[in-house]
Amino acid sequence: MGTARAKTRTPRVTTADVVAFLSKEYGPVEWKPRNDPMSELVLTILSQHTSDTNSDRAFASLMRTFGTIERVGEASVEDIAAAIRTAGLAKVKAPRIKGVLEKVHREVGSYDLSFIGEMPLEDAKAWLRSLPGIGPKTAAIVLCFSFGMPAMPVDTHIHRVSKRLGLIGPKVSADRAHDILEAKVPPEQVFPFHVYLITHGRRVCKALRPRCGECVLAWGCPSRKLFEASSRSKPTAKSRRPAKR
């Protein structure tokens, strides 16, 4: 009997590869606290379904209008909505901000959320998610960017690139991806993994036209052949037939 031919395994990208290769591509990242936890929470609510530029402008307008988070908590929903109009969906976000501030003050007696930093990660997530309208992404952003805790925020870029690289299944939702990716990444690498994958999604692994030829992870990306085949099958501008009139 002849010996069975050994199967060659196609290399696959791991979460460790993401950090190793993209750190060389984009340079080192260093965690620094971005905002105090309550401000980060309000800013993240404002960022939902809009650009960073619009949410930053809306938060700046909120602070110019009211001066402090305490004053925002005392304001009416209508006045909050007027101050955050540049973020879009003000009629949805204003009552959400008001509801969060009311519940925090009712339970804590202030807007100081520093105590969350002393909680185990899962307890901290659960506490934040008990607030009205706060899901896994918002909770993870606050824990990651304000406390440096190893919570994995998954935005549209991370969700898209992780699916293309095969780090999560093709049908895994963004909400489920938080826990799946977090479990695969060592705690000390959660923040750089998050930053690198967002950067890569914005610069190279774009939503409509991923630049596979420029990707340092293309060697192990299961989606590369699909995108390259799709690109080759599309007619160029010169080869397209003129539309009939």
Catalytic positions are 137, 155
What separation, in Å, do the N-terminal and C-terminal C-alpha atoms of the chain show? 68
Kindly state the tokens that stand for 189. Answer: 């690498």
Burial class (CB within 10 angstroms; exposed 0-12, middle 13-18, buried 19+) of 160: middle
How many Å is the maximal CA-CA distance in the chain? 83
Distance in angstroms (rounded) separating the CA atoms of residues 113 and 119: 11
Distance in angstroms (rounded) separating the CA atoms of residues 22 and 14: 12
- 93 in Cβ contact with 132 (< 8 Å): no
Secondary structure of residue 231 in the 3-state scheme? helix
The set of residues, in sequence order, having a beta carbon less than 8 Å from that of 172 and lying 6+ positions away, is 163, 180
- 115 in Cβ contact with 97 (< 8 Å): no
CA atoms within 13 A on the CB side of 71: 9
CA atoms within 13 A on the CB side of 18: 28
